[in-house]
Structure 1
Amino acid sequence: MDRPDLPLNALRVFEVAMRQGSFTRAAIELRVTQAAVSHQIARLEDFLGSTLFLRTPQGLVPTDEGQLLFPVLEQGFEGIARVLDRVRGHREVEVLNVGVNTTFALGWLLPRIERFHQDHPEIDLRISTNNNRVEILREGLDMAIRFGNGGWTGHNSMPLMETPLSPFCTPTIAARLRQPSDLCQVPLLRSYRSAEWPGWFEAVGAICPPVKGPTLDSSVALAELATFSAGAALLPVPMFQRYIELGRLVQPFGDAVNAGRYHLTWPSDRPATDAMGKFAEWLTANGATDPSDSADENHTN
């Protein structure tokens, strides 16, 4: 099949600009100047005879032509990258880029990462951590593990572990606690999810005192603050067993309330690769899913 002279550099720049939603961010990813990005986009538009972006005060808005071109280029470059990774050095290796909620990464995945490498040496697993804010396509990821209800528009999701919350504190503070209501005498460390402490106190039949102090966006940060005897932190129990094993924190009460669960998610309009399927299976086989869940239970939203 005859092909015209393809402007590959310009096509690559366009793919990154679409994914990043900004010439500035595209320039950062490509390690070039913003002017170079603009030049390549203008060159591609001249080649096609079509406008690909509308420049508005709110940022770049892709035209119909841009939206038509993007998925083809994205899948094409993804396929090229995978093949190159496999043949480089004559190794049969597939790269898998996964964004992972920091709490899940530190509390469950990273302690088991060597086991994954042993089970699947053919997969080059690359992890990017986040505080539950992730855009799979824009960040160049294949999948993401995040906390929520599974209802992410345009994404498939596989339910993983539930996250029952319970108070954690240092042994020194725990020595002063006899019943849940005694927590009223202790500073309650708070996350941006303001309903968590009231929900826990309601579950144990006690009145929740005012929750004051700085608001943190990470359970890991809350746990670290609690280790300095700054107060009690309400944490997902399965993710912080290591703190208990090391004696840094204790769980003074067994009462826990379910706050939701983690999910493995991926775009519903992109075909799952072999590595994606193996990663999902490995999570199930190694206890990242609750026993009551079906191993192949997926939700499309």
Structure 2
Amino acid sequence: MDRPDLPLNGLRAFEVAARQGSFTRAAIELRVTQAAVSQQIQRLEDLLGLTLFTRASTGLMLTDEGAALHPVLTRNLDEIGALLDRMRDGRYQETLHLGVVTTFAVGWLIERLPGFQASHPGISLRVFTNNNRIDIAKEGLHMAIRFGEGNWPGLEAMPGIAAPMSPLCSPALAQNLHRPEDLARLPLLRSYRADEWPRWFAAAGAACPDVQGPILDSSIAMADLAAAGLGVALLPVPMFARQMAAGQLCRPFATEVQAGRYWLTWPRAKPPSVGMRMFRDWLRAEGG
């Protein structure tokens, strides 16, 4: 049935009557007469060529056709009502809970959030940082930005910013680094992804030394240790552009390795809300 021909008054009367189980109670909710409710539903039944209700001693009973139609109407009317509620103050409003791996939040997102708020003033964004281990459903989030290959069960994933990794260290340590083999004399800071240093050395055409020492689950912490001259960290270079521009970190070698990228993820089973789509489109435009 074409949209201009949808019997909206009859559908609304049917949904309320089915939910209330009574034409009388439906009339009270709709603030019309019982006869008006009955007439609207009769017109709907005539248009469809079927019966939606049968009468019983306990009240109205839905036919199979009525039972199929009712939950669809209820769900969609609820969604329309919720959406209209968010527009009562003259603009669309929504609160969006976003989980973000800390490296991306500090290195890229936070400085750009004023731009998002300026272009979408009705979207209240609440950012919750994490160490890349997150469960959207359990933590009450709508979306999450994480680092990886883009394959997470039950989630849609939109590719975001690439994050090639390369060794970063303090300017003092960088002065003595001329070949990849020179790194063997220094502490190599490790993340929980054990294959990163071997992959980088392979890309540089050098043998990987025996990498030992503490394992850190935060690139921010590794960058702080590297800036203090306590070792060399293999880090996603674009996320530490400010520290490099300020002379706190140096990149002694051009060789880089792709260990993944940042992705925007959300539950596959739940359609994105208006606010989620706004943020997704903004992130796609900002991240190129």
- Measure how far apart 1:173 and its partner are: 0.3
Aligned to 1:245: 245
Is the 1:85–1:95 contact (alpha carbons within 8 Å) kept by the matching residues of 2? Answer: no
Contact 1:197-1:208 at 8 Å conserved across structures: yes
**1:172/1:80 CA distance change after superposition, 3 Å:** farther
Aligned 1:1-301 pairs, distance under 5 A: 1=16, 2=19, 87=88, 92-286=92-286, 288-289=287-288
Structure 1: how far apart are the matches of 2:111 and 2:255? 26
TM-score by length of 1: 0.67
C-alpha distance in structure 2 between counterparts of 1:186 and 1:110, whole Å: 33
Partners of 2:132 and 2:80 lie apart in 1 by 28
State the distance in 1 between where 2:220 and 2:266 align. 25
**SS in structure 1 at match of 2:163:** strand
Structure number, greater radius of gyration:
2
When normalised by structure 2's length, the TM-score is: 0.70
Cα RMSD of the aligned pairs, angstroms, is 2.4
Tell me which amino acid in the other structure corresponds to 1:277. R
1:227 and 1:284, CA in 2 relative to 1: closer, same or farther beyond 3 A? same
Deviation for aligned residue 1:160: 0.7
- The count of corresponding residues between Structure 1 and Structure 2 is 217
Give me the whole-angstrom Cα distance separating, in 1, the residues matched to 2:211 and 2:118: 45
**Aligned residue identity for 2:220:** V
| Shift in CA distance, 171/101, structure 1 to aligned 2, threshold 3 Å | same
Residue 285 of structure 1: how far off its partner (Å)? 1.1
Q: For residue 114 of structure 2, what is the amino acid of its counterpart?
A: E
Identity %: 50
1:107-138 CA-partner distances (Å, limit 9, x unpaired) = 11011111111111121111111111111111
CA contact (8 A) 2:147 2:260 kept: yes
Shift of 1:92: 3.7
The one-letter code of the counterpart of 1:245 is A
Contact 2:148 2:259 in 1 (8 A): no
* CA shift digits 1:119-169 (9 cap, x unpaired): 111211111111111111111111111111211111111011122110000
